[in-house]
Amino acid sequence: MNNILITTSFAMIISCYTLFWFTEARLQVGFYNKTCPDVESIVSGFVRDATEFNPQVPAFLLRLHFHDCFVQGCDGSILIDNGSISEKLAVGHQGLKGFDVIEDVKARLEFVCPGVVSCADIVAIAAREAVAFSFGPIYEVESGRRDGFVSNISLAGRMPDFRDSIEVLKHKFFEKGLNEKDLVVLSGAHTIGTTACFFLMDRLYNSPPRGGPDPSINPDFLPELVETCPPNGDINFRLPIDHNSGDTFDIQILENIRRGFAVLQSDAKLMDDPVTRQIVDSYFGVVNQSVRPSFEADFVKSMVKMGRIGVKTGPKRGEIRRVCNRFN
């Protein structure tokens, strides 16, 4: 009986892997070369203009791509406005912004090449531009995604959360086909952007098991956090997630995590697990840079890998929305 169960389980794994690979294979770099050749330059122009108006836009767009992909795959479901059941209203999505940039891009693309470019692909390309405009690596985006037919708040319960233990974070990433290195380098996306004091209050004043500050916070950093987010202060006040380097894409976020200068609890948790800790340390432990792993190169690999999660291809599995915040 056990052998039958093992064989059946193995067959299911192989079947799921084959389906996942087949879905991936439908994406390709240059998917719109003939049907909408200016798509990437159009997206880039809108992201550049929005960033000049608000320097936080790159962080908004990078986070938007992550949140889209982690619920039902990279299918634009996070963009839909369908009342009280909208996926974007889930607790795990609170504070998401950048929707207006995606809608502006879509409006322009519908004028230039109507019915061709999916909102899901716009989100993925915009995230790449967000990294580039933050002085991060430039990489090619696979496209060919279609927009999904479902957006429901009930499906967003497995988003990684800032309060999750490292074991839970790893499991949530494993569920999406991502590993420990992906967890580390995608957490590195916190190199740009800000967070609200709301997300620090328990860590500063009510850390288990006895309350008080999280002992993993460096004693030299704690007074600064307390001054920025006092017990009775404005919980909506925002501070950079990457201490002293919040506007530039760089490896400083991982150095801060190593030294106890992580702002978010979930980032600090990377040092609680021997595997993720070793991955973080690997970017600093080798003097010879020619053999040291590249955070930027690994980030690109993980972004491309994340961009393949649960993609929908072909007219039966998805659509090309005329506007991004509602189904056709």
Give the Cα separation of 206 and 138 in Å (integer): 41
101 is in an annotated binding site: no
Q: Is 242 annotated as a binding residue?
A: yes
Does the annotation place 38 within a ligand binding site?
no
Read off the tokens for 77: 């479901």
The single residue of 67, 93, 171, 243 carrying the catalytic annotation is: 67
* Listed residue (130, 139, 254, 133) closest to 191, CA to CA: 254
**Is 214 marked as binding a ligand?**
no
Q: Is 95 marked as a binding-site residue?
A: no
Flag whether 77 is marked binding.
yes
Residues contacting 274, CB < 8 A, separation 6+: none
Residue 65 in marked binding region: no
Is residue 67 annotated as a catalytic residue, yes or no?
Answer: yes
Alpha helix locations (H) across the chain?
2-25, 39-53, 57-69, 99-112, 119-133, 166-175, 180-187, 201-205, 222-228, 252-259, 265-268, 274-282, 295-306
Query: 182 a known binding residue?
Result: no
Tokens of residue 42, six digits: 């159009």
Residue 73 CA to residue 123 CA, distance in Å, equals 12
Is 87 annotated as contributing to ligand binding?
yes
Q: Is 191 marked as binding a ligand?
A: yes
Between helix 99-112 and helix 57-69 the angle, nearest 10°, is 80
Residue 234 · residue 197 · CB < 8 Å: yes
Q: Is 160 annotated as a binding residue?
A: yes
Q: Which residues carry out catalysis? A: 67
Binding residues for heme b: 190
Binding residues: 68, 71, 73, 75, 77, 87, 160, 190-191, 242, 250
Binding residues for substrate: 160
